[in-house]
Amino acid sequence: MRLKGQTRTVDREFVAEVESEIDTAVAACYQCGKCTADCPLSFSFDYTPNQILRLMQLGQKEMVLRSESLWYCATCYTCTIRCPKEIDIAKLMSVLLIKARQEGYVADHKIRLAQETFVNSVARYGRIFEAGLVGTYNLKSGDLFNNADIGPRLLATGKLRFLPHRIKGRREIRKIFDRLRSSRKGKR
């Protein structure tokens, strides 16, 4: 089977891999669209949640992993609690997002950057350093005045720290990152 305009055909292996992670067969979906109907972010999706399911049913790995929707999903679980077929769509979206990142598909670089800046902050200090986080993100994204309208007023409240809080167990945190990295390498 081939969708018009697509070069790749069906990738059943990919589908099976994802299915084992979400613990449901995508064939259960009967395309009712209830997941899409109240998804707060679907207005920003290129494929609605039910279309993501449809693409999965047709084994369209590449179209799915390229989708912007994965990046704009807020993991709010509205879809999941509504699905008449008990498919955990929110989980599916996050499983796909991780796969997309692993395979080098990034539909929104800013979101990727924001996520990674966040994780780096954790890796470095053990906690989030908010002021630093916003600064780094704005610098790297080139969006220097992002949220600039609220920045000064925020500072005025005196809630933001100017220096990061470094936890004592920083080395333990680093080790988590390191061990994960080496175990991943070992698997490849």
Partner 1 sequence: MRIGVFVCHCGSNIAGTVDCPRVVEAARGFPHVVYATDYTYLCAESGQDLIKTAIQEYSLDRVVVSSCSPKMHEETFRRAARQAGLNPYLVEMANIREQCSWIHSDKEAATRKAIDLVRKGVFKVSRDQELFPSFFKVNKDVLVIGGGIAGIQAALDAAQGGHRVTLVEKDQTIGGNMARLDKTFPTLDCSSCILTPRMVDVAVNESIELLAYHEVEEVKGYVGNFDVKIRRKATYVDWSKCTGCEECVGKCPARIYDKFNQGLGRTKAISLPFPQAVPKKVTIKKDFCHFFLKGKCRVCEKVCQFEAINFDDQDQIIERKVGAIVVATGYEAFDPIAYLEYGFGKYKDVITSLQYERMVSASGPTMGHIKRPSDGEEPKTIVFISCVGSRDRAKGRSYCSVACCMAMAKQAILTKEHIPDSTSYLFYIDIRAGGKGYEEFVDRAREEYGAQYVRGRVSKIYQKGKKLVVKGTDTLLGMPIEIEADLVVLAVGIAPPQDAPELAQKLNISYDQYGFFVESHPKLRPVETNTTGVFLAGACQAPMDIPASVAQGSAAAAKALGLLAKDELEASPIVASVEIKRCVGCFKCEAVCPFSAIQRQELRDGIMVSNVISTVCKGCGLCGVACPTGAIKVNGFTDEQILAEMEALLL
Partner 2 sequence: MTIKYAYYPGCSLESLAREYNVSTRLVCQDLDIELVEIPDWNCCGAAPACQVDHMLSSALSARNLALAESFKLNVMAPCPKCFNRLKEADLEMKDNPDHLREINNLLEKPYHKGVQVKSLLQVLYQDVDRELISCRVKIPLEGLRVACYYGCMNARPADINDFQNPEDPTSMEEILAPLGAELVDYPLKTYCCGAAFGLARVDLVLRLANELLEMATLVGADVIAVACPLCQQNLDLRQLQVNARYGTRYNIPILYLTQLMGLAFGHSSKELWLDKHFVKFRKLPGATQAVSSGAR
Q: Which residues bind partner 2 (CB under 8 A)?
A: 40-41, 43-44, 72, 74-78, 80-81, 90, 94, 97-98, 101, 108, 110-111, 113-119, 121-122, 126-128, 130, 133-134, 137, 141, 146-147, 149-150, 153-154, 157-161, 165, 167-169, 172-173, 175-177, 179-180, 183
Site residues for partner 1, window 43-82 (CB under 8 A)? 43, 47-48, 50-51, 78, 82
DSSP 63-130: HHHH-THHHH-----HHHHH-TT---HHHHHHHHHHHHHHTT--S-HHHHHHHHHHHHHHHHHSS--H
Rounded least distance, CB 146 to partner 2, Å: 7
The letter for the amino acid at 166 is R
CA dihedral angle for residue 172, residue 176, residue 178, residue 180, rounded to 10 degrees: 170
Rounded least distance, CB 165 to ligand SF4, Å: 11
Contact status: 30 vs ligand SF4 (CB under 6 A): yes
The letter for the amino acid at 121 is S
Contact status: 18 vs ligand SF4 (CB under 6 A): no
CA separation for the pair 87, 70 (Å, rounded)? 16
* Cβ closest to ligand SF4, residue 2 vs residue 84: 84
